[in-house]
Every structure is written in structure tokens, then in C-alpha cells.
Chains A and B, each alone.
Chain A
Amino acid sequence: DAKTTQPPSMDCAEGRAANLPCNHSTISGNEYVYWYRQIHSQGPQYIIHGLKNNETNEMASLIITEDRKSSTLILPHATLRDTAVYYCIVRVYNNNDMRFGAGTRLTVKP
């Protein structure tokens, strides 16, 4: 699976949009982009995934660049409960496991 690069930390004001970038310049054509988050002392929570089209669900939006070398996870109205470590993972759809990098520690401030 392709490697990803994320900033180690970000801050966001409560109520504002949080935009978390991820670089995956070596992504292959059959690899999806997955986003998970881990709130302190809990297991990771699935957020969203996509291949090449932008995706949106009740939690977030995923914007993937046309060349698929980078993506952005958008939390439209961040709350204090969104404070967590966010992981961007690139993985072949039928591949078994999910391997985690260091992620981005997002802190939402009042």
C-alpha cells in the first residue's frame, strides 16, 4: 500500500471547518483513500473513504485531487468532540489489513 504524509498537528476553532490534508503521491490506480479518527483511549472510528470522486457523508467530506496524489478531509463545523488523531490510509480495496501512520492530531478550541 502507498504511504501517506500528514501534518503532525492542527488547530481549529469550534464551529469552523476543519480541513485536514493528506499527501499520497505514490498512490496506485486501485488504491482507495480511507480516513479514520481516534479519540483518546478509544478504538479508531471509520469516517469516510473514496477512490477518485469526492465523497460526503453525515460526518465529513472527502476531496480527492484529480491526479489523486492528495486529499483533504473536511469537517464542516468542528466541535470540541472532534478533537482526535486523524489517520489517512491508502489501501487496495480488497486488501486485508489497515496500516496506520502517525496521523494528524486535531485540536478543536473554543
Chain B
Amino acid sequence: GAVVSQHPSWVICKSGTSVKIECRSLDFQATTMFWYRQFPKQSLMLMATSNEGSKATYEQGVEKDKFLINHASLTLSTLTVTSAHPEDSSFYICSARDWGQGRSGNTIYFGEGSWLTVV
């Protein structure tokens, strides 16, 4: 299947600083990418939908000024957690939709996830 890669896999940052997480689609172009957050022993929660060349769409309750999303190209979306606090510590996962041919068309593939720890 298609490959989506995230970087970094894990990051530790100090409270009050900002941290950027990258999401790349490696073998297909993704006009739409998605960002999720997952706390321990919980399911994935959709945070926002990232659209190439336009503003991201945020889910209710997600602060768009805190979680900045940029989708500057068809293969890259970034999530920046600004002024991070310990409660932002979580597993962040991105995904991208592959409009490719065949049965995998319009299937969503996920990255490996990025662990953020704010100390």
C-alpha cells in the first residue's frame, strides 16, 4: 500500500516552546491530509483536515492558533504545536488520502505517529 511518513518519531520539548511535526506522502500526491491525536488507552481523535493550498479545517474544540497546520505541497503537511504545555503530550498521527487507481483508490493511509512529550 501507499506510504505515509512522519518525522520526528518522538520529540521532547520544554514547556512554552513550539514543536513541528512533518507528514509526507512518499509515493502519491495528497491534496488532503488529516491530523489525529491519541492519548494512552484511547482511540484516535481527529483534530483537523489539511488541504493543500488552503486553510485547514479544525474539529470542534481544537484550537487553531495552538495547532498550526500548513499544507504547502501535495506531499507535505506540517503540524506545529505552539507554546506547548505538558497536557499537549500525546501521540500525534497524520494520514493522507490516496486517490490512486484500483481498489486502493480513495483509501486513507496513516503515518507511523509522533510521540510528543512536553516537560
Interface residue ranges, A against B (CB under 8 Å): 34, 36, 38, 41-46, 49, 87, 93-94, 96-103
Contacts and interface: CB of A to CB of B under 8 A. Distances in A.
* Chain B interface, >50% SS class: strand
Nearest to B104: A46
Interface in B94-109: 95, 97, 103, 106-109
Contacts, number: 51
A46 B113 contact: no
Contacts of B111: 43
Nearest to B113: A43
A43 B1 CA distance: 14
B67 interface: no
Interface of B: 1, 4, 6, 32, 34, 36, 43-46, 49, 91, 93, 95, 97, 103, 106-113, 115
Contact of A98 (B1, B108, B115): B108
Contacts of A96: 32, 34, 49, 97
